[in-house]
Amino acid sequence: MLLFDATQRTLRPIVAQLQQAGRSGRSAALYNECLAALEQARSLGDDAALVLIAQTFGLVIDQDGYSDASIAWLLEAVECAKRCGEFGEQAHMLYLVGRAYYSRAEYGAALAYWTEGMEVGTRDGDRISWSWCKLGIGQICDALDAPAIAVKLFSDLGANLARLDSSTQRLPISQWARFDLRLRELKAVNTVNLGVNQMHQGQYDEALASLRQGQTMAQAQKMDDIASECLVRIAEIAALQGDHAQALELLVPAQKALKACSHVWGLATLFLLRAQCQSALGQLAQASVSIASARQAAKQANAQHIALRIERENALIAEKSGDLAHALESMKTAAALQTALDRGSKAHLLRHLQTLAEQSSAADREAPGYSMGLRRKLSV
């Protein structure tokens, strides 16, 4: 049964409105609306509504810096989905929990929840949620500087998604539209991630093709945040090819687009890239201003991995400016951030990621469990 049909009548219009708003973008106002709706669903004991609201909430918790309090709501929704007997929705919520931890650069925790989501998705036959979790694992490969593994994973996943269709799934006709919508969104995000990692491998022509395709797909689904991120990545390719002036020009509309959809993480990345381009062009004063903007956005998004890159770049800018004391200060800050991010074994994570990357579909063997003692095992 669709969870929406199980939702109390008084909450149905709220759920529908939040779902529509969540697909259009993110904002502090939408975050607060979701929070109020979650409180209302909890007070009414409406597990179905709480799960559906949490699915939108999970897309906008960057507005609160992926706080522990926000993640706690997602974990409550995991339990609500389980009580409803909706294991596909449980897998969906596990993906969102992992996404929050990934965004905080807590990759061990993210991997734990995503492998759990793959396991639940496999048992339920939910190939969409399984694939979202698989995509997340590719993003961890990217974050751990393993673009070759990531490119293979996203390429294989894209090929599998191309063969998916609602009519071939064991779903009632009433659920086909939602399946196809989630599939289109998944394809767009996967294509963009493929392009990013092709860029990291120096495959610039392939990366541009993937990013432009992903941008078109995202625009068709009104995924403004994803489409805007593509603009930043295309500018990044220009910078990597040595055309820093063109990159700066491309970042102007990108910044406007990111601000329009309150994509704080994307803005942190944009300001950092702008600082790098300005530094390369000898515009050191402007680069320092961009670094300050990048720091502010990274702090708001609680994006520690971006904060690390910002401090490293700031050290280079300060050194170019002859401010060695400032350069040393940024290097020390970067070292502290790196130590925090390196908690846990990177090599161990990569070995596990390689195993997961080789799985091609939800029909494969059950995903191997992974735990860092961060939570109890979720029963299904």
Domains of the chain from N-terminus onward: 241-342 (1.25.40)
Q: pTM of this prediction? A: 0.87
pLDDT recorded at residue 172: 66
Q: What is the pLDDT of residue 341?
A: 80
CA distance 56 to 132: 15
Burial of residue 175 (number of CB atoms within 10 Å: 0-12, 13-18, 19+): middle
| Integer angstrom CA distances of residue 301 from 36, 141, 304, 305 | 21, 21, 9, 11
Residue with tokens 């687009």: 257
Which secondary-structure segment (H or E) carries 37? helix 28-44
Q: Where are the beta strands (DSSP E) in the chain?
A: none
**Contact 231/257 with Cβ under 8 angstroms?**
yes
Which region, left, alpha or beta, applies to residue 202 given φ > 0 means left and ψ of -120 to 50 means alpha?
left
Gap between the Cα atoms of 256 and 253, Å rounded: 5
Residue 175 has a pLDDT of: 74
- The tens-digit pLDDT sequence of the chain (380 residues) is 456 667 788 899 999 999 888 877 788 899 999 999 999 999 999 999 999 999 999 999 999 999 999 999 999 999 999 999 999 999 999 999 999 999 988 888 999 999 999 999 999 888 999 999 999 999 999 998 999 999 999 999 999 999 988 777 777 676 778 888 999 999 999 999 999 999 999 999 999 999 999 999 999 999 999 999 999 999 999 999 999 999 999 999 999 999 999 999 999 999 999 999 999 999 999 999 999 999 999 999 999 999 999 999 999 999 999 999 999 999 999 999 988 887 655 655 666 677 667 765 544 444 444 443 343 333 33
- From CA 139, how far away is CA 152, in angstroms rounded? 12
